[in-house]
Structure 1
Amino acid sequence: MKNFLYTVLLFVVGIYAIYEQSKSEPNKFIMFGALAIFMVGLYRISNKIPSKQDKENTEDEQ
């Protein structure tokens, strides 16, 4: 459930950042904030996905 909320937040922030960028004078603080939220959300989601190398290492040990 938490990953779903992060995914929704990432889409909303991404769409808003694209909308803000399309303006003639985009607000740099809003763009920076959207980028920061996007990067933190992407980091949290990517931490939940197991690596292929970890899976291969555990199979080799057994």
Structure 2
Amino acid sequence: MNYILIAIGAIIALYAKNTVNQNQYILIGGIMILMIGIYRISKNIPSRHQEDEHIDDKKE
């Protein structure tokens, strides 16, 4: 689902950027959809600091 949001947002943003009469609202909407997809993916990736804590606990 997240990758679909990223793809749709990128397509909409590129479409709005390439038209002769550039519609700013469509461009902003496409960028927002793109950013929502990126945020949802990054939310599931653990931070590097959390991984380091788990490795240090295993060493002791």
Q: TM-score range by the shorter chain?
A: 0.7 to 0.9
Instruction: Map residues 2-17 of structure 1 onto 2, 5 A cutoff.
Output: 5-17=1-13
Query: In structure 2, what is the Cα distance between the partners aligned to 1:16 and 1:39?
Result: 12
Q: How far has the Cα of 1:53 moved from its partner?
A: 2.3
Q: Secondary structure at the match of 1:41?
A: helix
**How many equivalent residue pairs?**
58
Q: How far has the Cα of 1:32 moved from its partner?
A: 0.9
Consecutive unaligned residues in structure 2, runs of 5 or more: none
Paired position in structure 1 for 2:48: 52
Paired position in structure 2 for 1:41: 37
Percent of pairs with identical residues:
31
Residue from 10, 15, 34 that aligns with 1:19: 15
Q: How far has the Cα of 1:61 moved from its partner?
A: 2.6
Larger radius of gyration: 2
Q: How far has the Cα of 1:33 moved from its partner?
A: 1.1
Give the superposed CA RMSD: 1.3
Consecutive unaligned residues in structure 1, runs of 5 or more: none
Moved over 2 A (4+): none
TM-score with structure 2 setting the length: 0.79
